[in-house]
Structure 1
Amino acid sequence: MKIESDFLVIGSGIAGLTFALQAAEHGTVAIVTKREVTESATNYAQGGIATVFSKEDTFDAHVQDTLVAGAGICHEDVVRMVVEEGPQIINNLIEWGVQFTQSGSSYDLTREGGHSQRRILHADDVTGREIERALVAAVQENPNIRLFEHHIAIDLITEAKVLRKRLKPNRCLGAHVLDINNNTVMTFTAKVTLLATGGAGKVYLYTCNPDVATGDGVAMAYRAGATIANMEFMQFHPTTLYHAHAKSFLISEAVRGEGAILRRRDGTAFMDKYHQLKDLAPRDIVARAIDNEMKTHGDDCVYLDITHKDPDYVRNRFPNIYQTCLEFGLDMTKEPLPVVPAAHYLCGGVAVDTNGQTDISHLYAIGEVAFTGLHGANRLASNSLLEAAVYAGRAFKHAVSQIEANSFTFPEIPEWDAGTATDSDEMVVVSQNWDEIRRFMWNYVGIVRSDKRLERALHRINLIQEEIEDYYWNFTITSDLIELRNIATVAELIVKCAQQRKESRGLHCTIDYPQRDDIHWKKDSFVRKNI
């Protein structure tokens, strides 16, 4: 079965939906998403979206905070562009129906780690859910948009692959997509394809990401020949709830922004030893501090304490976090919350220009799947939703100009060929490899690394990928197999980028090169597949 449209959007978070809403004014849009439309990292974002919205704040201050958090390798031109375009993007979200929390006649602005000013717009402590609600409602009302839920992209279709030629530049023609419910493969073609597939937290054993975050867009783009950058910079959120049944529930950075203090089991506050901003230090520093405290004192977790604040204020400011913790038997107004770091945000990804365009023609990537240069070696809190929305607008404008300037002819695109593949009775192979990848990535390529650990990880990845490829080509494709193949690819890319960087910077900390090296490594790392 073939689906044709002007724009193909893979992913349904803030990046994909804001692009789709704008693109729908100029053509037909197909949105492919592998679970329900609301199941995205956006939906789970608690803290908010950062932008200069008060008279006390300035663009220069937001730029400087971003550069400091990024540990010297942010692209300053990109940082300034995103920051300065932020306020208009917020107004667009408001026009689409997003209702941010207000204080009187103005918006309530909060502060998070690394920010010198209160500049975080939020909707209580469920900002992402509110943004997703408004955007999904707008998408469902738009007659030019077709939504394909429970569909997972398998691979991009490129002109080079169809014609079996080496082409520079190559051109993206769409994607092969598995209908999960019917277990049939569909062919989606489009003049423009947008990757908005989010991050890759599920590559790690412990993550606060939703189950959909398996690095699909990065893996597909890499296999198609796109350049991938800075994959060594995986951000670990410092504070996820440590509880057997919580599945790494995120405790928002805004809790520390409103005065919460990190303590050891004995009640000792410790962040003053690590940074002058104490509990409001950038995330990479806080995560490493917690990791060090746990290892030094042999504890399973540390504790986040906001019991010194007025209980009514805490309940009203963080209603979702308060209620969720209460369901696990924890009252954050009366007792500190046990917390640990967990994989949270991928600062690298598919390399793009300032319009979100990859080095494959007519293929764009925005949001967490993309490497734009904004985040450098460590993302500043609440800059992610901002980046996604800004780049959605820029990618849309550039994509429309490309369509208007070019006449499109498509080569004959063959349907998916399953060959002699049969149904598998050995799904244990998938679950075993999935578990093994996530465990060795956590142990060898986690918050602190070494050359030896990276070497061991790459050795294991190579062996597992041989098994996966054999399985992939011999058995009928499933969503689990697609995701396993993708996390194996992303794990390989993270390790290879980490092996390149012979220093410690931001989120990449290695015991073999403990110092930052601005002479040799004040730059990005790149990897590209030879095809």
Structure 2
Amino acid sequence: MTTLGDGVGAPEAKTSLSPTWEATADLVVVGTGVAGLTAALCGRELGLSVLVVTKAAITDSNTRWAQGGVAVVDLATGDSVADHVADTLAAGGGLCEEDVVGSIVAGGPAAVARLRARGTVFDRAADGSLARTREGGHSAFRVIHAGGDATGAEVERALAAGVSRQRVPVLERHIAVDTLRTPTGCVGGLVLLDPDGTPGVVRARAVLLATGGFGQLYQATSNPEIATGDGLALALRAGAAAADLEFVQFHPTVLYTKGARGRCPLVTEAVRGEGAVLVDAAGQRVMAGVHPLGDLAPRDVVSAAITRWTAAAGVDHVYLDATGIDGFARRFPTVHAACARVGVDPAREPIPVTPAAHFACGGVATSPEGRTGVPGLYAAGEVARTGLHGANRLASNSLLEGLVVGERAAEAVAMDLAAGELAPLTRATPGDAAVSAPIADRGLVQRLMSRHAAIGRDAEGLSGAATRIAAARRERVLDSHRAVEDAALTLLADALLVAAAERTESRGCHVRTDFAERDDVQWQRSLRVRLDASGAPAVLAPALASGAA
């Protein structure tokens, strides 16, 4: 077996369905977004042998597409951690954990300093300080950015370069199928499929999931094609709990083109932060009188307002008028290029926009350090629910969370390893790698979720969608990348529908048309979901305590 370094073996091509290759590491990181690569670099610096696994290329992740920036406080501007915390709590609709919010926000400046030390170059203002903009839900100009509207791409570039310099081995185009479990229930590694679908095993003292979200659960999304929720499904099957799955944030402004499906170009919130306004075809202001922050209201408020407006007018989209922004092409080159491809000039005409699935607010229930309720299993980034976001994400808190929790998760692994709390590498046979799972047609799942579990939901629609997906499921062997993804989407559709049906109120980005009011007496609490003995998602205890569940 060829050595990759730090005890990691390279896969050898075989043809059997049983695992035919093996690798080992102290820590295997699944995913290459900001949380995953930050954790990998931090783990390496702490002396751990680290292996990174990604089902695409190292630079393919949700992070790459993040346009807005990183929300981080600079006291010299008059901003404060307390104000950032207050903005996050207001956006989160009463479900954020205040101590978690305070901890992550306070950790932002140091995490950004370390990111800059790794080579990330942020845009600067005329006086040489970091340029800052304001986005929806923020009370201050605290969002730093790179390349105008290409912050995620710059962060991804710098972190990937760091992984290369540190000689951290990376298995590209490998997908995680299932966890390896010890007799005591600890996670001790993963079963993977290589690019050809050949199964193999990675044995590890700890597994860190940083696989992003599940935007592909919907027909139109800002997420790349790889955002199919594999890590969350993997965690559920390993016995971990998930929380806040019913809260799926729809970004108010993706570029509208008739009949568009899949990943739609994002029109960053920073465009509104610099003066653009939402209007209809007649020039009427969409957000007038809706919220004190107007066009800079939190995302759930703006998305719901656009949805109501289009429904009342019988149209598919509204417009974002950015004609008053000087130098639009220079400030927002990514948005300008996307508009140009569909024949729109933002300097001369409003941009057609509509909401689309953007970020999951919930995920694997973890502590602020990424620990789950399953020993040996950790999670960070969009796949995790730390308590930061609550019922709705505040703009540009996502990259912040990935940086801070990615570092803390690697530190948690090192601490747990030193304390003897992680299982030793086991030589137990993992069994047949051709794990099977129920799979429904992806197109059917996406249509049903978009129709019945998007911005507006009701009991009849949620129940009907669940029934139709159940009837369409067929047990399939997970012997291909596509099968693993489709199984994950099927499981997450079931889990989201269960949680959304349980929460009989409207809060944040969970909007029930049959329960239109927020109910703090009964529902100011998070819902946990775990798989029952039959493998079906079920809502558990009535409250989620702080930390892992």
Structure 1 length as normaliser, TM-score? 0.93
Once the two structures are TM-superposed, the CA of residue 418 in structure 1 deviates from its matched residue by 5.6
Task: Give the corresponding residue for 1:204.
Answer: 218
User: Residues 508, 401 of structure 1: CA spacing in aligned structure 2 closer, same or farther, 3 A cutoff?
Assistant: same
Correspondence list, 1:483-498, <5 A? 483-498=485-500
Task: Give the corresponding residue for 1:290.
Answer: 306
Once the two structures are TM-superposed, the CA of residue 54 in structure 1 deviates from its matched residue by 4.3
Give 2:164's aligned amino acid.
Q
* In 2, Cα distance between equivalents of 1:96 and 1:411: 35
- Residue 120 of structure 1, aligned match among 137, 143, 148: 143
**Alignment pair present for 1:456 and 2:464:** yes
Once the two structures are TM-superposed, the CA of residue 266 in structure 1 deviates from its matched residue by 1.4
Native 8 Å contact 1:345 1:368 kept in 2: yes
* In 2, Cα distance between equivalents of 1:220 and 1:213: 14
Task: Give the corresponding residue for 2:449.
Answer: 441
Correspondence list, 1:235-314, <5 A? 235-244=249-258, 247-310=263-326, 313-314=327-328
**Alignment pair present for 1:413 and 2:428:** yes
- Note the alpha carbon deviations across 1:79-120, whole angstroms, 9 max, x for none: 000111110000010000000000131000000000000000
**Alignment pair present for 1:83 and 2:105:** yes
- Note the alpha carbon deviations across 1:39-75, whole angstroms, 9 max, x for none: 1000000000001024210111000000000011110
SS in 1 for 2:137: coil
* In 2, Cα distance between equivalents of 1:174 and 1:277: 47
Correspondence list, 1:74-473, <5 A? 74-103=96-125, 104-123=127-146, 124-143=148-167, 145-159=168-182, 163=183, 167=184, 170-180=185-195, 182-244=196-258, 247-310=263-326, 313-406=327-420, 408-415=423-430, 417=432, 433-465=441-473, 467=474, 469=475, 471-472=476-477
* In 1, Cα distance between equivalents of 2:385 and 2:435: 38
Once the two structures are TM-superposed, the CA of residue 274 in structure 1 deviates from its matched residue by 1.4
Give 2:42's aligned amino acid.
Q
Give 2:296's aligned amino acid.
L
- Note the alpha carbon deviations across 1:508-531, whole angstroms, 9 max, x for none: 110121111111111001111135
Once the two structures are TM-superposed, the CA of residue 300 in structure 1 deviates from its matched residue by 1.1
- Residue 53 of structure 1, aligned match among 57, 74, 84: 74
**Alignment pair present for 1:18 and 2:18:** no
Task: Give the corresponding residue for 2:15.
Answer: none
RMSD: 1.7
User: Residues 461, 82 of structure 1: CA spacing in aligned structure 2 closer, same or farther, 3 A cutoff?
Assistant: same
Once the two structures are TM-superposed, the CA of residue 397 in structure 1 deviates from its matched residue by 1.3
Native 8 Å contact 2:200 2:433 kept in 1: no
- Note the alpha carbon deviations across 1:157-216, whole angstroms, 9 max, x for none: 122xxx4xxx4xx31101101102x22011011111100000000001110100010011
Native 8 Å contact 2:96 2:390 kept in 1: yes
SS in 2 for 1:516: coil
Native 8 Å contact 1:54 1:119 kept in 2: no
Once the two structures are TM-superposed, the CA of residue 415 in structure 1 deviates from its matched residue by 4.8
* In 2, Cα distance between equivalents of 1:461 and 1:4: 38
Once the two structures are TM-superposed, the CA of residue 267 in structure 1 deviates from its matched residue by 1.3
Structure 1 segments (4+ residues) deviating >2 Å: 244-247, 407-413, 418-421
- Note the alpha carbon deviations across 1:374-405, whole angstroms, 9 max, x for none: 00100000000101111111111111011112
Give 2:460's aligned amino acid.
K
- Note the alpha carbon deviations across 1:262-299, whole angstroms, 9 max, x for none: 01111111201311111000000000001111110011
SS in 2 for 1:519: helix
Which stretch of the first structure deviates more once superposed, 265-274 or 330-339?
265-274
Native 8 Å contact 1:111 1:120 kept in 2: yes
- Residue 515 of structure 1, aligned match among 514, 517, 541: 517
- Note the alpha carbon deviations across 1:99-155, whole angstroms, 9 max, x for none: 000013100000000000000010010000000000000101113x11010101111
Task: Give the corresponding residue for 1:29.
Answer: 50
SS in 2 for 1:106: coil
User: Residues 212, 419 of structure 1: CA spacing in aligned structure 2 closer, same or farther, 3 A cutoff?
Assistant: closer
User: Residues 403, 262 of structure 1: CA spacing in aligned structure 2 closer, same or farther, 3 A cutoff?
Assistant: same
Once the two structures are TM-superposed, the CA of residue 309 in structure 1 deviates from its matched residue by 2.5
* In 2, Cα distance between equivalents of 1:370 and 1:459: 28
Once the two structures are TM-superposed, the CA of residue 408 in structure 1 deviates from its matched residue by 4.4
Which stretch of the first structure deviates more once superposed, 101-110 or 246-255?
246-255
Correspondence list, 1:468-479, <5 A? 469=475, 471-472=476-477, 477-479=479-481
Native 8 Å contact 1:240 1:251 kept in 2: yes
* In 2, Cα distance between equivalents of 1:157 and 1:286: 43
Once the two structures are TM-superposed, the CA of residue 409 in structure 1 deviates from its matched residue by 2.7
- Note the alpha carbon deviations across 1:405-435, whole angstroms, 9 max, x for none: 21743443325526799xxxxxxx97x8110
- Residue 63 of structure 2, aligned match among 27, 42, 52: 42
Task: Give the corresponding residue for 2:11.
Answer: none
Native 8 Å contact 2:27 2:51 kept in 1: yes
Question: How many pairs align?
Answer: 505
- Note the alpha carbon deviations across 1:296-340, whole angstroms, 9 max, x for none: 001111000011222xx2122111211221122111111101011
User: Residues 223, 5 of structure 1: CA spacing in aligned structure 2 closer, same or farther, 3 A cutoff?
Assistant: same
* In 2, Cα distance between equivalents of 1:504 and 1:485: 29
Native 8 Å contact 2:242 2:362 kept in 1: yes
Correspondence list, 1:61-76, <5 A? 61-76=83-98
Give 2:158's aligned amino acid.
A
**Structure 1: 5+ residue stretches without partners:** 422-428
SS in 1 for 2:524: coil
Which stretch of the first structure deviates more once superposed, 400-409 or 451-460?
400-409
Native 8 Å contact 1:186 1:416 kept in 2: no
* In 2, Cα distance between equivalents of 1:498 and 1:57: 36
* In 1, Cα distance between equivalents of 2:432 and 2:371: 30
* In 2, Cα distance between equivalents of 1:508 and 1:362: 32
Native 8 Å contact 2:458 2:512 kept in 1: yes
Structure 2 length as normaliser, TM-score? 0.90
* In 1, Cα distance between equivalents of 2:314 and 2:41: 50
Give 2:211's aligned amino acid.
T
Give 1:61's aligned amino acid.
D
Instruction: Give % identity.
Output: 42
Task: Give the corresponding residue for 1:425.
Answer: none
User: Residues 226, 213 of structure 1: CA spacing in aligned structure 2 closer, same or farther, 3 A cutoff?
Assistant: same
